[in-house]
Amino acid sequence: MKKFKFLILVFTIFFQTLTVTGENKKKSDIIFGQSAFLSQGSLQLYGEFIQNSINARFNRINKQGGIKGRNLRLVSMDDGGEPDKTEENVFFMKEKNVDMFFGNMGTRSVFKILPMTEKKDVAVFFPWGGADQLRQPNLSHLVNGLGLIEPQIKALVKHATKTLRLKKIAIFHDDGSFGISNKNMTIEELKKAGIEPKAIASYNRFTMDIDRPAKKLIKADPKIVICLATSMPTVKLINKFLELGHYGTKFIGIDSTMLVGDILKRKGVPFSYASPMPDPKKSKLKIVEEFREDMKKYFPNDPINILSLSYYIHTAIIEDGLKKIEGEITK
């Protein structure tokens, strides 16, 4: 069955990338590839949010006539969060003439295809994840997104130290390069406030085993934990604190912890996170209203959240850029 589905995908991509010519025939689609975490796992939901929000905006654009009569299309392939699989997917799609990638997931995966980007063999738009090395001026074929972490960390530290006036602060982060970079940034921000973390603990983003880091943090008895993680490991950490009777600790996080509050709502656990996005549920900005309308229309089962909104906005940025091209649209 898996082989059959793969063959269907191969032929689908092949026929989607064919250029149709002739006076009365439809112009070829403008196709973007995506290699993302779409299989069963802790990040599958994030991959689906990114994929669906891009398609929601594409649907709006295409129903309005596309871009100069050409529809926008996203071809997605699962990589399970494995950089080698990402590289394999990108090579495969590139052979089918898909060389513009939109919404790829994972810093390590982006690094894996960075040589292709540096050679200008492919263009990568708005990957989910990031590191300072991906924001170098010479990377003309890599466009980063709206999820800058630095202002989020500054806001979290300010909230913990100035608003809540807490000094016993701990850090919880994933063990990848992105998580380590975020940890170091948080330590620096706390240092500016004259505070040294009571404890720092990392978790393995593949095993999702948080018992060891949870015990380390609980032993330090912090008043607040800054979570530089995704939602599920953060939920597991908080549940561990509750399980062991530590009810007085507060938790705050970066934007990738956006689902924590909803998951733990029934337990009455307050949770706050930082985000560079406007409120996806309440904002009256036109782009946000269009986002809510399109998600309700095309993906009614998806919860309204900041990750979906960010990729809806990313798609609108690509749309705006394409509309500004004079003459024929070429790669």
Tens of pLDDT, residue by residue over 1-36, are 444 444 444 444 444 444 333 333 457 999 999 999
> Is the domain of 170 the same as that of 142?
no
Tens of pLDDT, residue by residue over 295-327, are 999 999 999 999 999 999 999 999 999 999 999
What is the three-class DSSP state of 18? coil
Percent of the chain whose pLDDT exceeds 90:
71
Residue 177 has pLDDT above 70, yes or no: yes
> Residue 232 is part of which domain span?
150-273
- The pair of structure tokens assigned to 178 is 């992105």
What is the reported pTM?
0.81
pLDDT band for position 39 (cuts 50, 70, 90) = confident
Strands (E), 90-220: 100-102, 123-125, 142-143, 169-174, 199-203
Tens of pLDDT, residue by residue over 120-172, are 999 999 998 777 788 888 899 999 987 678 899 999 999 999 999 999 999 99
pLDDT at 15: 43
> Is the domain of 64 the same as that of 206?
no
Residue 2 inside a domain? The answer is no
pLDDT at 269: 85
Residue 48 inside a domain? The answer is yes
Judge contact between 254 and 195, C-beta under 8 A.
no
> Is the domain of 133 the same as that of 171?
no
CATH code (residue 294): 3.40.50.2300
> Is the domain of 185 the same as that of 258?
yes
- When divided into structural domains, the chain yields a total of 2
Residue 97 has pLDDT above 80, yes or no: yes
Closest CA to 231 of 269, 277, 185: 269
* Phi, psi (deg, nearest 5) at residue 238: -60, -40
> Is the domain of 166 the same as that of 63?
no
> Is the domain of 138 the same as that of 286?
yes
